[in-house]
């Protein structure tokens, strides 16, 4: 299972994608940022016991 979450700078959840099963390999997940205000965010991806967090910004 792979889950994707987006948090703002104060840790508030802004997006919580449903967990999905993926086969091995590369995959893409589209997340609309139209509803999010400009700012700094963190994208957290979790697969099993492994987790990775990436910082990104939105400017409008």
pLDDT in tens, the chain (60 residues): 899 999 999 999 999 987 888 888 888 888 889 999 999 999 999 998 999 999 999 999
Distance of alpha carbon 28 from alpha carbon 35, whole angstroms? 20
Cα dihedral value 13, 15, 21, 24, nearest 10: -90
Q: What is the pTM of this model?
A: 0.83
Task: Report whether 3 contacts 19 (CB < 8 A).
Answer: yes
Phi first, then psi: what are they for 53, rounded to 5°?
-120, 130
Domains of the chain as residue ranges with CATH: 2-58 (2.60.40.3080)
pLDDT given at position 23: 84
């Amino acid at each position: 299972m792979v889950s994707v979450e987006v948090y703002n700078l104060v840790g508030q959840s802004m997006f919580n994608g449903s967990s999905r099963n993926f086969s091995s390999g590369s995959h893409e997940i589209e997340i609309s940022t139209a509803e999010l205000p400009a700012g700094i965010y963190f994208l957290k991806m979790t697969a099993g016991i492994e987790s990775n967090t990436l910082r990104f910004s939105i400017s409008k």
